[in-house]
Structure 1
Amino acid sequence: MTTLSVLDLVPVRSDQTTGDAVRATRDLARVADDLGYHRYWVAEHHNMPAVAATNPPVLIAMLAAATERIRLGSGGVMLPNHAPLVVAEQFALLEAAHPGRIDLGIGRAPGSDPVTSFALRHGAGGVGDDAVARFPEYVENVLAMMEPAGVGLAVGGRTHALRATPAASSVPTVWLLGSSDYSARLAAEKGLPYVFAHHFSGQGTAEALELYRSRFQPSSGPLGLAEPRTFLTVNASVASDADEARRRALPQLLTMLALRTGRPLTPLALVEEAEKQQLGPDEQQLVDAMAARWVIGDGPTARARIADLAATYGVDEVMVNAVASAHVGAEPHASPDREETLRLLAARD
């Protein structure tokens, strides 16, 4: 059986406040926990009208306190935006509070526009391209600082002990994330788990995973890995019938269309709002191409598609980004269609 997990960007619909969206995400995590999903990751995106996942550690702390069993993690922390020590401290503390349940997924992309990236990086991880260029160094720093023994830091001619937390008894699992072959190479070199962002483009996945697997070098220590470890991410909208699943996916498809064509971004539309938008032939072709790479359909069809994707890419775990929006009249603090996606995918025929 394919292991199922969840990716959540904490979408903000046109009928929601940030508080509503966060409450809906908390309830969705509880549903995933009750249904037996393996892990629940939250993203890091900034200054986007439709995304409230700006701070993964804060969200993870909230979700870990609201759930019982499921692993919680970042999908991912955009490391160039932050000082490595701050990230190491945050996740070492989360692991101490919830041992064995915390994943630290690390990405290299900014997760935002250039102005916001500058505001985030100034005085933290670095400014401009320097932070991205130093990404391998920053990854190494985070790994070393989270080791229970810490790391020696040379300052003023003396070596000082530096630990992310005073007395760690365990460490979170560290994953590298990417949408190109860069992170695949780095994860293989460092012997770390790796995830390719298949949900974002749906292209280049097989090549990135093959590169990672073929170049993987086993690593040792608390964060070490003996063999390659990866899984697949995919967007999904599942309903009682295929037509309804497509309707619920349309708002997110239109958001992705705006992102890829440079249009102004807005809060995630409700289904009826999205259906009023008129698309030109080229726009419709792009939307159809994106939808073809997503999992959209009724429960049995969607579960079969998940199994086929897992077999195609040689993974035993699939992380689902539940992209279903909601209909006019839905409770603002709830995400019933995203919850139904998770329930139908977890069902057994």
Structure 2
Amino acid sequence: MRLSVLDQSTIVAGRSPGTSIRDSLTLARACETFGYHRYWVSEHHNNDAVAGSAPEVLLGALAAVTTRMRIGSAGVLLPHYSPFKVAEQFRVLDALAPGRIDMGIGRGPGADRQTIYALNPSMMDDLLSMGGGDSFASDLEDLIAWSRGEPLPEDHPMAGVRAQPQGTTAPEPWLLGSSPYTASLAAQMGLPYCFAHFFHDGEGCAEALDTYRRNFSSNASGAGPLVSLCVWAIAAPTAEKAEQLFLPYAHWRLDRDRLVNSAFPSLAQVASRHVPPQAQAKIDRLRDTAIFGTADAVVHRLRDIAATFAIDEVVIVTMAHDPADRLKSYELIAGEMNLSPIRNIDLGGHEPRPAIVH
């Protein structure tokens, strides 16, 4: 079972959001040393809980501070952008870190409606978008072709347009989601698929993965289905310490589930809160399903999930008020899994797809 990392650059109470971005660089360097397979960063907007708003920029910095680990987005929210521009950004990233860039693409908005219009004001005049029209599948096809240096069909209005810089390698595309639609689209296009298990504690996971596997169409490279799950987990030296790390996460989740985007709290902050019985019941239910504890307990749960869903890789997202606790968690899990630093480029079972050189 491969282990990887999703880092959302979580904003924590009492520290500036900019610090969270810099902490991401520190964590990435450490996770490469620990032996994690890939390191992904996310995209959210106008969100007081998440500082990661521009993964394509952060990935440029990550390319400079890592040398072996795969790095990528989880994911770029394609509906906000021109597929051509995204392709150019990832062609640049691939030039900076050849053969180790993952181009994870998401379909969700990642923001409220007003912020969506701020990202792309022209949408207010786009009747198709306003009316619920969806060009995501065709945009994704164009993006992948441009990022790989493959020609668009001759009858395509953008035929002949190329995304620079061209090169001998290309980003590896992934589709990310939490619904049967994204699973089905990933299957039809022969793409690797990552299910966001941590969104709703795995709700809909079995259905989505079954849809993906049943409908998978091998791509030109002949690669088969490649599945990862992104789960929340945190490990600590003792069970008591793990409980102390879980409680702030539980309260943060209560806020998130109420659509309140708040900075990640400290244990002292949540310990002083009055918790109504209904909220306490939700915390207790989350305690039963969340993955936290000593390293051996956490790894046991991760292996169990991997076996249950027959997945190839687990991507761990961890939030903690103190970045040292987050870093220690990844170190403990890596040690329990006997990970070793990556010594060469590995595309997760998929053969590298060279870009077409014109």
* Fold similarity call, TM over 0.5: yes
Q: Which runs of 4+ in 1 moved over 4 A?
A: 124-132, 152-155
What is the letter of the counterpart of residue 189 of structure 1? Q
> Residues 52-63 of structure 1 correspond to what in structure 2 (within 5 A)?
52-63=51-62
Q: How does 1:73-222 map to 2 (within 5 A)?
A: 73-123=72-122, 128-129=129-130, 133-151=134-152, 160-201=159-200, 202-220=202-220
CA separation in 2, counterparts of 1:93 and 1:126? 31
Q: CA deviation at 1:126?
A: 8.4
Alignment of 1:248-327 (within 5 A): 248-262=245-259, 264-326=260-322
Residues 74 and 166 from structure 1, CA distance in 2 versus in 1: closer, same or farther, beyond 3 angstroms? closer
SS in 2 for 1:95: helix
What is the deviation of 1:324? 2.5
Q: How far has the Cα of 1:204 moved from its partner? A: 1.2
Worse-matched range after superposition: 290-299 or 136-145: 290-299
Q: Distance in 1 between the 2:46 and 2:193 partners?
A: 27
Higher RCO (Cα < 8 Å, 6 or more apart): 2
Decide whether aligned partners of structure 1 residues 166 and 310 sit closer, same or farther in structure 2, where only a CA change above 3 A counts. same
Between the two proteins, the alignment pairs up a number of residues equal to 334
In 2 relative to 1, CA 129–72 (structure 1 residues): closer, same or farther, beyond 3 Å? farther
Whichever residue aligns with residue 336 of structure 1, its letter is: A
Tell me which protein shows more strand as a share of its residues.
Answer: 1
Q: Are the structure 2 counterparts of residues 54 and 131 from structure 1 closer, same or farther at C-alpha, using a change threshold of 3 Å?
A: farther
Change (3 A) 1:96 1:218: same
SS in 2 for 1:259: helix
Query: How far 1:294 moved relative to its partner?
Result: 2.3
Q: Which SS does the other structure have where 1:87 is aligned?
A: helix
What amino acid maps onto 2:329 in structure 1?
A: T
**1:207-263 alpha-carbon deviations (Å, 9 max, x no partner):** 11111001101111xxx452111111110111111221122122232222112124x
Distance 1:225 1:165, change over 3 A: farther
C-alpha distance after superposition, 1:245-304 (max 9, x if no partner) = 122122232222112124x43211112112222221221222232333321101111111
SS in 1 for 2:71: strand
Q: CA deviation at 1:136?
A: 0.6
Q: Structure 1 residues 59 and 281 mapped into 2: Cα distance closer, same or farther (>3 Å)?
A: same
- Is residue 2:235 matched to residue 1:238? yes
Q: Which deviates the most, 73-82 or 159-168?
A: 159-168
Cα pair 1:251 1:269 within 8 Å, conserved: yes
Decide whether aligned partners of structure 1 residues 270 and 32 sit closer, same or farther in structure 2, where only a CA change above 3 A counts: same
User: Percent identity between the aligned chains?
Assistant: 37
Query: 1:164 deviation in Å?
Result: 1.3
| Cross-structure match for 2:37 | 38
Give 1:122 deviation, angstroms: 2.2
Query: Aligned pair 1:12/2:8, yes or no?
Result: no
Structure 2 unaligned runs (5+)? 339-358
Q: Offset at 1:317? A: 1.3
- Please, what TM-score do these two structures have when normalized by structure 2? 0.88
Alignment-mate amino acid for residue 307 of structure 1 = R
Distance 1:89 1:324, change over 3 A: same
Between the aligned partners of 2:314 and 2:241, the Cα distance in structure 1 is: 23
1:132–1:88 distance in 2 versus 1, CA, 3 Å: farther
Q: Is the 8 A contact 2:226 2:312 kept in 1?
A: no
